[in-house]
């Protein structure tokens, strides 16, 4: 994909900044608060503060963007256990984004040491200190993830933060999510803001158990995914019924290289032929005129 569209900064409700991507036609974060989203939806949902009590921790930040999810994680680990040795890999398509975040001082709210790491990552693609080994891999995450799978990379925590499925279907396909799941440790946790039925189905088809998570600044819960379902809160009846409708037909991209239009059209065709119930009946029953993002 050719990235040439503008990136426009905009303040969010908690004083932090987000960007609007002309290429994807979407905001990078909830306008209710970009910092709040990084902390609540990713760090708190995966209980990172508890995991950071260990001597080492491995993190995968899918769609690094401005680096806010990475920053919230590093700030939390630094606060609760600065001796924890962290290995972190960030995946990002657009090299302009992390650099812009630094140049425009959009990272000013993070602790100084964390800001310094974000700057080094944006400038050089890696950080090496006695307690942090971080790499920012620039390129299509669909290719980057295959290299991580081959290297048998195993993350304790995965932050999964692409643009929404209608705007960026290529990163919500069964095949891509299967590759991501290969990089999740058997006891690891994956967090995403999305509750789309197509996303939840793809996570399940990758062998993961799913649960709702409290997502900051959004009307709907996000999704926590892990291999072991023990202790996970159940999905609401509404969410379970959503998974039995055509909204749950997942995106597919068996070559991990199709463009967004092809992936969207493929899903639409599969939905037309699907024996699943229509989603409009579900929406009428549960939402009384409201809508839930697919």
If one asks whether residue 39 binds ligand SAM (CB under 6 A), the answer comes out as: no
If one asks whether residue 183 binds ligand SAM (CB under 6 A), the answer comes out as: no
Of 292, 230, 242, 256, whose CA–CA distance to 177 is shortest? 256
CA distance 7 to 100: 9
Residue 235, CB half-sphere, CA atoms under 13 Å: how many? 23
Exactly one of 45, 52, 63, 292 binds ligand SAM (CB under 6 A); which one? 63
If one asks whether residue 91 binds ligand SAM (CB under 6 A), the answer comes out as: yes
Exactly one of 93, 211, 213, 224 binds ligand SAM (CB under 6 A); which one? 93
* Maximum distance among all Cα pairs of the chain, rounded to whole angstroms: 56
If one asks whether residue 168 binds ligand SAM (CB under 6 A), the answer comes out as: yes
Q: Which of residues 117-156 bind ligand SAM (CB under 6 A)?
A: 140-141
> Is the alpha carbon torsion for 150, 167, 193, 38 positive or negative?
positive
Long-range (24+ apart) CB contacts under 8 A made by 3-10 are 3/93, 3/94, 3/96, 7/96, 7/97, 7/100, 9/104, 9/106
If one asks whether residue 92 binds ligand SAM (CB under 6 A), the answer comes out as: yes
If one asks whether residue 74 binds ligand SAM (CB under 6 A), the answer comes out as: no
If one asks whether residue 94 binds ligand SAM (CB under 6 A), the answer comes out as: yes
Q: Which CB, 65 or 217, lies closer to ligand SAM?
A: 65
If one asks whether residue 69 binds ligand SAM (CB under 6 A), the answer comes out as: yes
Question: Contacts with ligand SAM: how many residues (CB under 6 A)?
Answer: 20
If one asks whether residue 35 binds ligand SAM (CB under 6 A), the answer comes out as: no
CA distance 220 to 205: 22
The contact set with ligand SAM (CB under 6 A) reads 28, 38, 63, 65-66, 68-69, 91-94, 97, 140-141, 161-163, 168, 170-171
């Amino acid at each position: 994909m050719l990235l040439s569209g503008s990136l426009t900064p905009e303040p969010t409700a908690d004083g932090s900044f987000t960007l609007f991507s002309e290429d994807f036609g979407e905001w990078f974060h909830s306008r209710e608060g970009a910092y709040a989203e990084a902390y609540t939806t990713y760090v708190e949902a995966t209980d990172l503060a508890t995991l950071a009590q260990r001597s080492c921790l491995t993190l995968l930040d899918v769609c690094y963007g401005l680096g806010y999810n990475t920053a919230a994680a590093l700030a939390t680990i630094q606060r609760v256990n600065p001796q924890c040795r962290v290995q972190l890999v960030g995946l990002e398509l657009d090299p302009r984004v992390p650099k812009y975040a630094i140049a425009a001082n959009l990272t000013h709210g993070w602790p100084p040491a964390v800001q310094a790491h974000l700057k080094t990552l944006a400038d050089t693609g890696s950080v090496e200190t006695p307690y942090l080994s971080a790499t920012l891999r620039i390129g299509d995450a669909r290719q980057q993830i295959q290299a991580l799978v081959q290297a048998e990379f195993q993350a304790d925590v995965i932050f999964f933060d692409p643009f929404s499925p209608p705007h960026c279907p290529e990163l919500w396909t069964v095949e891509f999510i299967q590759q991501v799941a290969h990089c999740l440790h058997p006891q690891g946790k994956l967090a995403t803001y999305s509750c789309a039925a197509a996303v939840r189905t793809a996570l399940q088809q990758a062998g993961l158990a799913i649960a709702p998570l409290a997502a900051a600044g959004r009307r709907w819960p996000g999704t926590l995914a892990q291999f072991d379902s023990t202790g996970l809160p159940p999905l609401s009846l509404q969410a379970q019924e959503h998974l039995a409708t055509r909204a749950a037909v997942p995106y597919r991209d068996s070559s991990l290289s199709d463009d967004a239009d092809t992936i969207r059209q493929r899903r639409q065709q599969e939905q037309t032929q699907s024996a699943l119930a229509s989603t409009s009946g579900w929406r009428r029953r549960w939402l009384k005129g409201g809508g839930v993002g697919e």
